[in-house]
Amino acid sequence: MSGTPSLSSASSVSGTSGRRRLTAYQYAIETLRAEILQGKLKAGDRLRQDDLARRLEMSTTPVREALRTLVSEGLVFFDVHRGAVVRGLTIDDVNELYRLRKTLEPMMVEQAMATLREGDIANAQALHTEMLATSDVATWTELNQAFHAALWASQDNSRLAHLIKTLRDASGPYIALSLHMRPAHVDVSNGQHQTMLDEYRARDVDAARRHMQAHLDATLRIIVEAIEQTEAEAANE
């Protein structure tokens, strides 16, 4: 995915000097994503293409493309009557998502480990290497999804895999928020992923299950802190 904020500069892209380095689409997507994640655009806010185009000083075409990207990221949804609307990121919602994930994903670890292939580990290792090399939030997030999918590839067609994919997709906006607010979490996650690879190579089911629980717990704590910080900053404006 192009035009997304880097881990080192994930805050604001306002200003003419920053804009000159970006295409209209890139400027639109980075600005709108940052405003949503920072709480400047709040849950339920309508995103009218004409208004956004005037504010960002561009045509409606790149704005429309940016809104489609935000929909795919889960930060915006389209309502039949209201058009594009900012989706709310709430602590209750993310707690429910992670409660379900912490129940199902350790089960997947056990199932996948029983049918694990050497090619699955090799694919996961290659993705891990790419994650270590990137500084782009969206790229890292996509690789993160692919990394876990690679370890569980032998279970692709199971009902459990489909349930987990739905939950992981729904978690996407929350992970984006956590990385936006806590870029250093990427390095922590990269280290945890290396531990996972070692556990899968050793076929250590118990260790991998415990580590998956700890990995999800750590991510949830950071997401909750990020939501609380965003809400506090928005309330003080």
For every residue of 97-158, DSSP letters joined together read HHHHHHHHHHHHHHHHHHT--HHHHHHHHHHHHHHHH--BHHHHHHHHHHHHHHHTGGGTTS
9 assigned to some structural domain: no
Q: Which of 36, 68, 86 is the last residue of a domain?
A: 86
pLDDT value of position 130: 97
Domain total for the chain? 2
Last residue of a domain, one of 86, 116, 145: 86
- Read off the pTM: 0.72
Residue 94 confidence (pLDDT): 93
For the chain, the average pLDDT equals: 86
Residues 148 and 78 in one domain: no
Same domain, 61 and 76: yes
Q: Are residue 64 and residue 174 in the same domain, yes or no?
A: no
pLDDT-based confidence at residue 117 (cuts at 50, 70, 90): very high
The answer to whether residues 124 and 209 belong to one domain is: yes
Question: What does the CA dihedral 184, 185, 190, 196 come to, rounded to 10 degrees?
Answer: 160
Residue 219 lies in a domain: yes
Q: pLDDT, tens digit, for every residue of 63-100?
A: 999 999 888 777 899 999 899 999 877 899 899 999 99
Supply 231's token pair: 């809400």
Q: Is 4 inside any structural domain? A: no
pLDDT in tens, 138-157: 788 889 989 999 999 999 99
Q: Tokens standing for 51? A: 């208004």
Residue 63's pLDDT is 96
Q: Which domain CATH number covers 186?
A: 1.20.120.530
With H, G, I as helix, E, B as strand and everything else as coil, classify residue 43: coil
Who's near 165: CB < 8 A, 6+ residues apart?
Answer: 149
> Are 65 and 103 found together in one domain?
no
Judge if 103 and 171 occupy the same domain.
yes
Given 86, 102, 127, the domain boundary residue is 86
pLDDT tier, 43 (very low <50, low <70, confident <90, very high otherwise) = confident
Strand 76-79 versus strand 83-86 pairing type: antiparallel
d(CA 233, CA 87): 18
Rg (CA), the chain: 19
On whether both 136 and 219 belong to a single domain, the answer is: yes
Domain of residue 132 covers 91-236
CA of 123: how far to CAs of 86, 109, 128, 188, in Å?
36, 16, 9, 21
